[in-house]
Structure 1
Amino acid sequence: MIINSLTLENFRVFKGKHQIDLRADQGSPIILFGGLNGAGKTSILTAVKLALFGKAALKGSLTKSQYHYYLQDQINRGDNDLNSASVAIQFEYSKLGKQYRYLVERLWKVDNNKVKESLSIQENGKTLSELSLAQAQSFIFDLIPLGIADLFFFDGEKIQEMADDEDGHVLIEALKKLVGVDLVEKAAFDTGVVLRKNKKLSGSLEERKEIDKLEQELKEVEESIESRTADYGNNYLPYQAELEIKLKKAKQKLDESGGEWSKSRDDLISEQGGLNARKKELEAKITELFRGDIIFNVAPSFLEKLSSQLKKDLSVSKSIDFNDQLDQKMSSLKNVDPKLSKLVNKLKNKGLSNARHQVSSYQYKEFEDMTNNSAKSKEALKVFLKEYESLESSIDSLGLNISRAPDESKLKEIFTTINGIELEIEKANNRTKQIKREIKELLIEAIQLTHNLDKVYSKLQNEESSVRVDNVGNKVISAMESLSRELIQGKISELELEFNKVFQRLTRKKDMSHQVNIDRENYKIELLDKFGNIVNKKRISSGEKQIYAFSMIEALGKVSGRNLPFIVDTPLGRLDSNHRSRLVKNFFPKIGEQVIVLSTDTEVDSQFYEALMPFISKSYEIQYNETESSSSVEMGYFWSSHHEESEVEIPA
């Protein structure tokens, strides 16, 4: 199978009609899509699966109303007038040695809140108009079994599930789909239903009435479960989602109005008040310093000269006092010896000039104390001024933040709206919890009714013909179960062989475990090193687990015997650059004739894009336009030098 084109019309983020050429050249199997998160990469994979498989492409068992709600939700919301959408896929398919071209289109319309779905198939240009919706879907399942397609169309979540598969659960489910065991199991289940009906017919009138009563009650409970579940999915969940969107918009409006600043406005004002009070304290202390001895430090050179002069003046004053004291003593003496008089004259300080200042020792001591205090005050002033400057900066910054915050009264309406929405969300959550409890109670009731039915069936006394039918039916079920085991067992050895080949090609460690052994009974997977020793899977890195998952997925695809295109959505997000490089070089170029990769700019960056270039037939960039509320697909990639429109007509 080779996909030629994919057409989207009003589907999800793609408003209008978008036709994308997906044909790959020989030797260049890769079609690369690049897009930022939310641009619409995943929509490409979803569109392919939905076009082919419809309701069956979705996870879980959806009711018809749930599926219709899903379809309605897939219509582009950029224009409220849109009430329809479609996805179409054209592909080549080889069947019984002949080549066929198919065009499958799934269209749905909404009219009076009711969804009408149609599925059309063209084979070699001829519409298969005789097929109903159910028949058309069965026709596609015959071409491409859903279980097989799951091995070829996958995303990062599927890869992670396989990487984390410790007990073999994911692998066994994949194997069942691969060999068609899921269909065999369904046939066995249907046979069981036939046997139960046979037992009912063999019972007495009273027993049949009791069975009818229990089955009717069970049917009513199942309908209630379906109704409540649909109500939950169609009304409660959308209403909650709507409230969340309203809350997000209201908070965004609050932010745009300065709401975040408003929330802390009072705290900012209080903090600013504290800083202003400290600023006044500093101003008082600085003023007090200038009233004191710090004035002496205003002219330090003058102060130094003055100190030197006062020292000299003090020395002169002391000498003069000394001379005066000697003269007084000498004048008080009578009959002074001339020799003593000469000696006294020698002791006197000679050549003393007049002092500029009359300075006493006490006065000079006061001057020294003032000088020392002035130096200390100068250091204190430096500390105060530094803190004062910091305070002014902080006060200005707080003032700016306060000015950004509108008055709380202006935001009162927005806050009231937010509080109202949050209250509604709380009420909605309570209602959701209530409906979940109701569904749980209904499930418990259904389980009990089923148990009561089983008890009645087990009491039935079967007639000979009924016993014979039961025996045949049980043999059929036993044979089917045996067939399931044999089909799976037959594929395990083949899967091991293919896995080991792929894993050796992808792993980057020569001494890393390079073989796999699958237990035939419980399907647990063991990784073996080159010596045959079991490797604890929990101890290998997350990147190596991803390589293991990619290897298993490729091996499953090869063992399936089908030649389908691979479509991989965001496959490399969890890998480091080394493991990513391995996949870029050894996985995508080699896994098939057509490989569609949906990537972000960080997964396949410029370096890896260059490495993939020789294997790329086409590269597209998905761009979202907020004004148009729509994405478009352009030729090129994030780092391409040119972009040309890609939505061209595909040859029929």
Structure 2
Amino acid sequence: MKFESLRMKNFKRFAGDHTIPLSGDGSVTVIAAENGVGKTTILDAFFLCLHGKRGMKLRKDNSKFQFEEWLANAFSSLAEAMSGYGEVSVGLDCSDDNGQSFSIHRSFWIEMESKTVSEDVTLHVDGKILRLEAGEKKEHVVQAWIDAMLTPQLARRFLLDGEEFGQLDMSHLSDAMKTGLDDLLGQGLLHRLSGHLKSVKRKTISDMAPAHERESLGMLMQSSEEHAAELNEKQRNLSTMRLELTELESEQRELQDQLQQKAAKDGAELGQLRIQHAVHSSEMASLRKTGLEHLLNQVPFLVGGLEGDLRNHDLEEAIGTIRSRGLEGKVLQTIADVLGGLKPKLSKADEKRLIEASEERLEQTFDSTPAAFRFLDEEMLDQFLAKKESLGLSDLENVREFFSEATEKVAEGRALTNELSQASKRMGLTEIADSLGATATRIGELQTLIALEEGNIEAIMAEQEEINTRVEALKASTSSDSMHRRSLDLIQTLLPLLEEYRIQSRKQLAEPLQEQFAEGFKMLSRKSERIKSITIDPDEYTVDISLQGFDGNWLRRDLSATERQHVGLSLLYAMRKLSNRPIPVVVDTPTSRMDSRHKGYSVRKFYPNLSHQVIVLATSDDLAGGLYSELSASGALAQEILLQESTDTNDIEVVETNLKTFFEVKS
């Protein structure tokens, strides 16, 4: 696919109609402008045309973003509203390798007083408007067609601001980034198929349940799927935290060795303090573990004001009434069964009175249950009592005493740390001691977070088990020959096979992804000469770079914005090279934050090889210092566009011109 031209009408400072040609003989189109003269507007126009409101929300990535207000403000101040309505429109003309042309046009009418917006989108293929079948809605069909060409997630990856890569953290990619990568590398279809099968599974199980349980069961299964995704995320977070903890513990040992070596002749005071600090650290580790166990188990009962024997909350009475409720419920069911088979049958009026009286009795028992325990049924009551017994809730006073003593221990540790710091300062060891203190603090934080995450994971797994038990019970009560049972068995067979295929498919992508990433990185960074290895996790797309002179993953260091930009651009390069379809790349401020050497790498080597079509939105600095002349001489230029302010008004003019003067004179 190629972008042939971009059209705008009354969009921000582009008053009236404007067309910007985007393709030519070369692979690189340069749209040049000074800061504040329309480059960001061009990028906005791409998102707005392709994906409308949804595209702009994804681009802005801000929960407070209000599309209607933004669009009303985007209506050119030099344009006139007609009958109280302002019109903003954007269009994109494209072509593909098969010679097919298609044109997207999106118009918005803004009621200027209320800021309400109405929209119309059209698509022409080979000059003819897209044909609709009976019952199809134009906006849905057109948007589905556009999404098949370039999903919003892919647009977010290939229509980009160079500044964004300066903030990219390759060790914690966002879900949106990973979704875009999946779509690009052919994994998106597998996700959508899996999602469809899970939806069918929910409906099938719901249909198997009694009518009065279907809604609640459907919600339960939806929650189960959400929790499954949450469980995966938490398990990944746990692995990441454990890895960081291992690295920090190693760092702590190294710092302790350094401190010991430098303080070998420190005298009695510092030596004694270090011994006390080591002993105290060991004690605190034990206290922290016990404290977390209390926080996850007994403390909620303390916070809720529940005493150990629970007598103030009428536990014994609750046990009696809940047991009675269970028995009465069974009796009520027995009465209903007897009435159903009774011969001769009672009159409907007598049968109704008997059932109503029984239900009223059951309701009275429920009302007499102490309020704190009304939500429990017999099974949940047994679980509660077992938990109460296993947690030792009769000994909550000891828990209070533990936290009181732990608080004193923390204060003692702070005082000891301060003494050690002062003594180290006197011996000239402050820097190592401070680093050791910061490392110990982070280790404590991680140990706490890991314990909490383990507790969260355990709770989610328990809930999942409960849901699975309920589903299996439904299956057991359904004939194995029923259509629902056969459908469910088929889906449950397909889902793990689909997941295994997805995993294997991603593993096959790992090696070529690493190779293409390394190729892109070598075009951008002089550090590429020191690369020992590059590894990309096919599940998370996280990158591990081993460089000569650096221990561990280089990306875990405090990288500069330029270094993060190089890593992000290298991943973009790998994505583009492995893409199952040709996609143009649009980059605003392509050499942002780069020094002159790295600008040269990117302009001479990287961007001309990034894609079959690269559109760069450049300031005078981006291609200064002879870089424009080199790019022009290489034959890579397709179009040269200058955006300049009108001498008469505040709007922007689009000029096709040789850009040598713009870049060379201003450099």
Q: Give the 5 Å matches for 1:387-406.
A: none
Moved more, 12-21 or 471-480: 471-480
Where 1:110 maps in the other structure, the secondary structure is: strand
Q: Give the 5 Å matches for 1:375-394.
A: none
Relative distance call for 1:552 and 1:209 in structure 2 (3 A) is: closer
Alignment check: 8 A CA contact 1:104 1:122 kept:
yes
Q: Give the 5 Å matches for 1:417-566.
A: 458=470, 461-462=474-475, 463-464=478-479, 465=482, 466-509=484-527, 511-513=529-531, 515-520=533-538, 523-529=541-547, 534-537=552-555, 538=557, 541-566=560-585
Name which of 69, 85, 91 aligns with 2:94.
91
Alignment check: 8 A CA contact 2:47 2:55 kept:
yes
Relative distance call for 1:626 and 1:110 in structure 2 (3 A) is: farther
Question: What is the CA-CA distance between 1:638 and the residue it aligns to?
Answer: 7.1
Question: What is the CA-CA distance between 1:87 and the residue it aligns to?
Answer: 1.0
Q: Does 1:640 align with 2:661?
A: yes
Post-superposition Cα deviations, 1:406-449, rounded to whole Å, max 9, x if no partner, equal: xxxxxxxxxxxxxxxxxxxxxxxxxxxxxxxxxxxxxxxxxxxx
The one-letter code of the counterpart of 1:611 is E
Post-superposition Cα deviations, 1:543-586, rounded to whole Å, max 9, x if no partner, equal: 33322322221111010032222211112222122211211111
Alignment check: 8 A CA contact 1:83 1:110 kept:
yes
Question: What is the CA-CA distance between 1:40 and the residue it aligns to?
Answer: 1.4
Aligned equivalents of 2:165 and 2:62: distance in 1?
A: 24
Q: Partner of 2:595 in structure 1?
A: 576
Q: Give the 5 Å matches for 1:116-515.
A: 116-130=118-132, 132-162=138-168, 164-167=169-172, 172-208=178-214, 458=470, 461-462=474-475, 463-464=478-479, 465=482, 466-509=484-527, 511-513=529-531, 515=533
The one-letter code of the counterpart of 2:89 is S
Aligned equivalents of 1:595 and 1:152: distance in 2?
A: 10
Relative distance call for 1:168 and 1:66 in structure 2 (3 A) is: closer
TM-score when normalising by structure 2: 0.53
Relative distance call for 1:210 and 1:122 in structure 2 (3 A) is: closer
Aligned equivalents of 1:601 and 1:592: distance in 2?
A: 23
Alignment check: 8 A CA contact 1:8 1:86 kept:
yes
Name which of 17, 41, 45 aligns with 2:43.
45
Question: What is the CA-CA distance between 1:598 and the residue it aligns to?
Answer: 0.6
Relative distance call for 1:640 and 1:133 in structure 2 (3 A) is: same
Relative distance call for 1:520 and 1:144 in structure 2 (3 A) is: closer
Where 1:571 maps in the other structure, the secondary structure is: coil
Alignment check: 8 A CA contact 1:159 1:571 kept:
no
Alignment check: 8 A CA contact 2:107 2:119 kept:
yes
Aligned equivalents of 1:214 and 1:514: distance in 2?
A: 49
Q: Partner of 2:27 in structure 1?
A: 29
Aligned equivalents of 2:190 and 2:469: distance in 1?
A: 25
Post-superposition Cα deviations, 1:449-470, rounded to whole Å, max 9, x if no partner, equal: xx99x97994773423444433
Post-superposition Cα deviations, 1:191-224, rounded to whole Å, max 9, x if no partner, equal: 3233223333222243247669999xxxxxxxxx
Relative distance call for 1:636 and 1:525 in structure 2 (3 A) is: same
Q: Partner of 2:622 in structure 1?
A: 603
Where 1:4 maps in the other structure, the secondary structure is: strand
Q: Partner of 2:19 in structure 1?
A: 19
Aligned equivalents of 1:156 and 1:510: distance in 2?
A: 20
Where 1:563 maps in the other structure, the secondary structure is: coil
Where 2:622 maps in the other structure, the secondary structure is: coil
Identity of aligned residues (%): 24
Aligned equivalents of 1:495 and 1:470: distance in 2?
A: 37
Question: What is the CA-CA distance between 1:58 and the residue it aligns to?
Answer: 3.3
Aligned equivalents of 2:521 and 2:613: distance in 1?
A: 21
Alignment check: 8 A CA contact 1:196 1:457 kept:
no
Post-superposition Cα deviations, 1:458-501, rounded to whole Å, max 9, x if no partner, equal: 47734234444333223333233223222322211111111222
Question: What is the CA-CA distance between 1:625 and the residue it aligns to?
Answer: 5.1
Aligned equivalents of 1:213 and 1:190: distance in 2?
A: 17
TM-score when normalising by structure 1: 0.54
The one-letter code of the counterpart of 1:553 is L
Aligned equivalents of 2:220 and 2:529: distance in 1?
A: 63
Where 2:626 maps in the other structure, the secondary structure is: helix
Aligned equivalents of 2:591 and 2:94: distance in 1?
A: 27
Question: What is the CA-CA distance between 1:29 and the residue it aligns to?
Answer: 2.3
Question: What is the CA-CA distance between 1:137 and the residue it aligns to?
Answer: 1.6
Relative distance call for 1:520 and 1:8 in structure 2 (3 A) is: closer
Q: Give the 5 Å matches for 1:614-629.
A: 614=633, 615-624=636-645, 628-629=649-650
Relative distance call for 1:548 and 1:576 in structure 2 (3 A) is: same
Aligned equivalents of 1:505 and 1:628: distance in 2?
A: 43
Alignment check: 8 A CA contact 2:185 2:575 kept:
no
Aligned equivalents of 2:590 and 2:506: distance in 1?
A: 28
Post-superposition Cα deviations, 1:315-353, rounded to whole Å, max 9, x if no partner, equal: xxxxxxxxxxxxxxxxxxxxxxxxxxxxxxxxxxxxxxx
Relative distance call for 1:93 and 1:522 in structure 2 (3 A) is: closer
Aligned equivalents of 1:67 and 1:458: distance in 2?
A: 44
The one-letter code of the counterpart of 1:186 is R
Aligned equivalents of 1:84 and 1:198: distance in 2?
A: 48
Aligned equivalents of 1:204 and 1:456: distance in 2?
A: 17
Moved more, 529-538 or 565-574: 529-538
Where 2:590 maps in the other structure, the secondary structure is: coil
Q: Partner of 2:383 in structure 1?
A: none
Aligned equivalents of 2:68 and 2:131: distance in 1?
A: 23
Q: Partner of 1:447 in structure 2?
A: none
Where 1:99 maps in the other structure, the secondary structure is: coil
Moved more, 30-39 or 457-466: 457-466
Aligned equivalents of 1:213 and 1:49: distance in 2?
A: 35
Q: Identify unmatched segments of 5+ residues in structure 1.
A: 216-450, 643-652
The one-letter code of the counterpart of 2:30 is L
Q: Give the 5 Å matches for 1:48-63.
A: 48-60=46-58
Q: Partner of 2:344 in structure 1?
A: none
The one-letter code of the counterpart of 2:3 is I
Where 2:99 maps in the other structure, the secondary structure is: strand
Relative distance call for 1:130 and 1:196 in structure 2 (3 A) is: closer
Q: Partner of 1:419 in structure 2?
A: none
Q: Partner of 1:115 in structure 2?
A: 117
Question: What is the CA-CA distance between 1:604 and the residue it aligns to?
Answer: 2.9
Relative distance call for 1:616 and 1:545 in structure 2 (3 A) is: same
Relative distance call for 1:533 and 1:501 in structure 2 (3 A) is: farther
Relative distance call for 1:79 and 1:563 in structure 2 (3 A) is: same
Alignment check: 8 A CA contact 1:543 1:579 kept:
no
The one-letter code of the counterpart of 1:472 is L
Question: What is the CA-CA distance between 1:69 and the residue it aligns to?
Answer: 5.4
Post-superposition Cα deviations, 1:118-172, rounded to whole Å, max 9, x if no partner, equal: 222222222224371111122223333444444432222442354x212455774
Higher-Rg member (1/2): 1
Alignment check: 8 A CA contact 2:532 2:548 kept:
yes
The one-letter code of the counterpart of 2:600 is S
Where 2:530 maps in the other structure, the secondary structure is: coil
